[in-house]
Amino acid sequence: MPHTSGLPRLFLSPPHMGGNEQHYIQAAFDANYIAPLGANVTDFEKRVACYTQSPHAVALSCGTAAIHLALILLGVKAGDPVLASSFTFIGSVSPIIHLGAEPIFIDADTNSWNLDPALLEEALHDRQQRALPMPRVLILTHLYGQPANVDALAAVCQRYGVTIIEDAAESLGATWRGRHTGTLGTFGILSFNGNKIITTSGGGMLLTPSAEYAKQALYLATQARQNTPHYEHTDVGYNYRMSNIVAGIGCGQMEVLAERVARKRDIFTLYQTLLADIECVHFMPELPHACGNRWLTTITVDHPAITPETLRLYLEAQNIESRPLWKPMHLQPVFRGAQAYTQGVSEKLFATGLCLPSGTAMSDSDIERVATLVRHCIERV
């Protein structure tokens, strides 16, 4: 659809540099540490570990690589069942397939839009009753920067001997009972993709309280090379380490992370205020004990004549990017036939939901521009 507004384009969640990133990049050039490893990588790991209060952090090429390594370190092999949030991005679950394991998708609840603890219990009880192989791992996504109900989910997992990998790719800066997401399970996963709350252009991080797991992750991420002067390998590893240049961007971004979280939450609050009187518009909820980073402001429109695509195209015509909510994994053609425990929540959210522009460089007037157009679109109908 052609743009008719003549106004600058508003993107969904573009990168927002803090100003010092170039300093760290230049330092890497000056030292000629252009390839993976170097002072920036070590510094970035320390900064993330300090911020999240994680004992160990390993910088990697992407968040999906971090999930892959976490699954390997937990002993997941071909044919093993692995539990996962259905309402998420495919990068959260594709490593299950990489290992030849079998995903079991669990639907969301209405209270958080995250994985439903009651449905998780139902799934595990069902498999136990039917004497099916029991999953030992859950990949739990904190969706759109909002923490899931960690207490309830952890209690279920403890009863059934399930280990939690937290997919905190979207939730850096979010907390549950004052603790950072990504530090509440055996492993935590971060992403620094170009649209995240801070970015390194591409990259990820594996968090863990275990020194041994961190050591093994580092070993596998550097091609599983033995400590010899030549290249000696007794295991198959991966080229998963973060580049020193990319890590330099991350060091600069960490300097402004607190500001970015505060601004994301301000953006959400302003949208909520501006659209508060429109009865059919609802916002993603936040659980008690949770403080999300509001990575994206997300809404549902409960109106029989308005779909997310209607609203998306209306905004696009005014040079504004928006996006439907994630299509649940159990509805994706690539996972046709995968086992799923669902109750229609994520399907309804996908059918009625939209992500609004949430870039931290947006001005209040930019947000007002978007909210006004959302209002006009609904009122026209």
- CA 100 – CA 80 distance, rounded (Å): 8
In this prediction, residue 2 carries a pLDDT of 54
**CB neighbours of residue 289 within 10 Å:** 14
Q: Give the phi and the psi of residue 166 in degrees, each rounded to 5.
A: -85, 120
- Identical fold at 21-254 and 257-380? no
In this prediction, residue 137 carries a pLDDT of 98
Contact 216, 73 (CB under 8 A): yes
| CATH match for 21-254 among 3.40.30.10, 3.40.50.300, 3.40.640.10, 3.40.50.720 | 3.40.640.10
Contact 357, 374 (CB under 8 A): no
Q: How far is CA 280 from CA 9, 125, 231, 299, 352, in A?
A: 27, 37, 62, 10, 10
Contact 16, 360 (CB under 8 A): yes
pLDDT tens by residue, the chain, 381 residues: 556 568 999 999 999 999 999 999 999 999 999 877 899 999 999 999 999 999 999 999 999 999 999 999 999 999 999 999 999 999 999 999 999 999 999 999 999 999 999 999 999 999 999 999 999 999 999 999 999 999 999 999 999 999 999 999 999 999 999 999 999 999 999 999 999 999 999 999 999 999 999 999 999 999 999 989 999 999 999 999 999 999 999 999 999 999 999 999 999 999 999 999 999 999 999 999 999 999 999 999 999 999 999 999 999 999 999 999 999 999 999 999 999 999 999 999 999 999 999 999 999 999 999 999 999 999 988
The pTM is what? 0.96
- CA 270 – CA 157 distance, rounded (Å): 37
Q: Which of 244, 198, 252 is closest to 40 using CA atoms?
A: 244
Residue appearing with tokens 């620094």: 192
Q: Which of 193, 216, 195 is closest to 205 using CA atoms?
A: 193
Could you name the CATH architecture of 257-380?
A: Alpha-Beta Complex (3.90)
In this prediction, residue 4 carries a pLDDT of 59
In this prediction, residue 35 carries a pLDDT of 77
Reading the block at residue 327, the tokens are 């299509």
Beta bridge partners of 188: 166, 207
Contact 176, 150 (CB under 8 A): yes
* Ranges of each domain in the chain: 21-254, 257-380
In this prediction, residue 5 carries a pLDDT of 62
